[in-house]
Structure 1
Amino acid sequence: MGKSSTKFLTNELQTSYESKGNFMPINLGCDSQYQKTLSSLFSTATATHEIRDTSLDESYLWPEEEKILKSVSQKRRWDFVTGRKCAHVAMATLGIDSAPILIGDKNEPVWPDGLVGSITHTSNYAAAAIAHKSKILSLGLDAEPNEPLPHKVLSRISNTEEFNWVQNSKGKEISHPGKLLFSAKEATYKAWNSVTKEWLGFRDAHVAFHLENQTFTVSINKETSIKTITGTFGIAQDIILTAIEIPVS
């Protein structure tokens, strides 16, 4: 993204929020290593944005989002506010007029008409991906700290083949393969559930990684219209990122 494009997007988004009486200070942060890694996981049909910041700025939220925030616990406020900021900036990148992002019955984001998206947050890091529904059927994005996954958690989420892969991969190309596996399954659930609205257990999704090109293939072990999903992954310093983009067939 060139400087002129970045300036245009910033001005357009700023104008959108000022028109409803809010002020939204924006730093697109397109040159950060986190953003470069995040962007590389998706096609050009999907816009992304990430934030690595501990501050909490609620001034740009839509009134509908502010109303939701009143019922959010103090612990989750940063997740909600920063995730929405990432999503709004990604919307601006697509040239879409800003609109509130509400929540569903299971606290999932409810995207404005014509859009699909995914939000993730962990360890003071937040990111979002958004695309037009006419081009992308569903998105799944997950971020996790690049650190070991507890053995008990690995045993609970993995099948035998996945467990053995993690054990055999430790200390090699991927520092923490267990956490990568966990993240891939989280991204899979987000993308799959967005389409099917059904529950998917950790062991209902079998993940096979292809380290040579930083991709993975997911086989769904349920009766469903979506049986195979492909995804990508990247590691930006202390954050593991996994992404799934299901195109419109």
Structure 2
Amino acid sequence: MRDVLKDLFSRSVAVTDTRDSMIDSSFLSLNERTYLENVSQNRKNEYIAGRFCAHQSMALANIPPVHIPIGKKGEPIWPSGVVGSITHSRGYAAAAVAKQSDVHSLGLDAEIDEPLSSRVLRRISIESEQEWVKAAASGLIQHPGKVLFSAKEATYKAWYPITNKWLGFKEVFINFHEERNSFTAHIQKNGPIAEMKGRYAIFNGVIITAIEIPPPPPENQS
């Protein structure tokens, strides 16, 4: 699936994915291994696979792989000058990494291609998005509710490193462009970014959504 993943980003972004749930954890730091002693085996496998993909992506981007600590809200803490995003979902893991000089922020999310319950859909979406889900269900997207959910997750992952602020599901409106397998995320919250462009792919039972925010234009020199 790596080729599918690569096509969602520009050449500035290095990506890696895996379906291997039995990856050797010796590359993790002592603190990470200690953290994993207190989590379930499933969570442990997901964490190791995600960090493995992150290390591989850093190497592909000619960035020396280093340990990636966990922030207070569970987010990965990337080294200075590096941006990235990690995702994992029931046996699939992936990571995208770039140099901050090339990319401002990244958001990557993967979900199993299966229905989203009506209860969850109501909780995460506004009426117009729910109408899109109903209309799209009769087209080429088998589970549009889950694609919507994933797009909002990717949006949050790209938003948080820039703002350090929470972004609720209903604080972002997603407008899909199905003919281009892309979407626009409209942020309904004060912040430095009001709109993000993203892409999505559905392949081998996995939904992948991706956002790449370009660097801000240089300030005018007086």
TM-score, normalised to structure 1, is 0.84
Letter in 2 for 1:135: D
Unaligned runs of 5+ in 2: 217-222
Cα deviation for residue 172 of structure 1 reads 1.1
Distance 1:202 1:246 in 2: 19
Letter in 1 for 2:185: V
Letter in 2 for 1:198: K
* 2:163 match: 196
Distance 2:172 2:77 in 1: 24
Letter in 1 for 2:35: I
Distance 1:230 1:45 in 2: 16
Secondary structure in 1 aligned to 2:180? Answer: coil
* 2:220 match: none
The 8 Å contact of residues 21 and 49 in structure 2, kept in 1 or not, is answered as: no
Pick aligned residue for 1:87 from 39, 46, 54: 54
1:160-239 correspondence to structure 2 within 5 Å: 160-239=127-206
Secondary structure in 1 aligned to 2:179? Answer: coil
Distance 1:98 1:183 in 2: 27
Question: Is 1:57 the counterpart of 2:24 in the alignment?
Answer: yes
* 2:104 match: 137
Secondary structure in 1 aligned to 2:104? Answer: strand
Distance 2:39 2:75 in 1: 13
Question: Is 1:248 the counterpart of 2:215 in the alignment?
Answer: yes
1:41-120 correspondence to structure 2 within 5 Å: 41-120=8-87
Cα deviation for residue 171 of structure 1 reads 3.3
* 1:40 match: 7
Distance 1:71 1:195 in 2: 30
Secondary structure in 2 aligned to 1:187? Answer: helix
Distance 1:232 1:181 in 2: 12
Letter in 1 for 2:211: I
Distance 2:53 2:161 in 1: 19
Distance 2:123 2:39 in 1: 29
Letter in 2 for 1:199: W
Q: Which digits, 9 at most, give the CA deviation of each residue in 1:68-107, with x for residues without a partner?
A: 3334443310111110100000001011112111111111
Distance 1:199 1:155 in 2: 20
Distance 2:214 2:6 in 1: 17
Cα deviation for residue 225 of structure 1 reads 1.6
* 2:219 match: none
Q: Which digits, 9 at most, give the CA deviation of each residue in 1:96-142, with x for residues without a partner?
A: 11211111111110011110100000010000000001111110000
The 8 Å contact of residues 21 and 46 in structure 2, kept in 1 or not, is answered as: no
Please tell me the root mean square deviation across aligned C-alpha atoms, in Å.
1.2
Distance 1:72 1:89 in 2: 24
Q: Which digits, 9 at most, give the CA deviation of each residue in 1:142-197, with x for residues without a partner?
A: 00001111111111111111000001111311111000000000000010111111
The 8 Å contact of residues 139 and 190 in structure 1, kept in 2 or not, is answered as: yes
Distance 1:45 1:87 in 2: 15
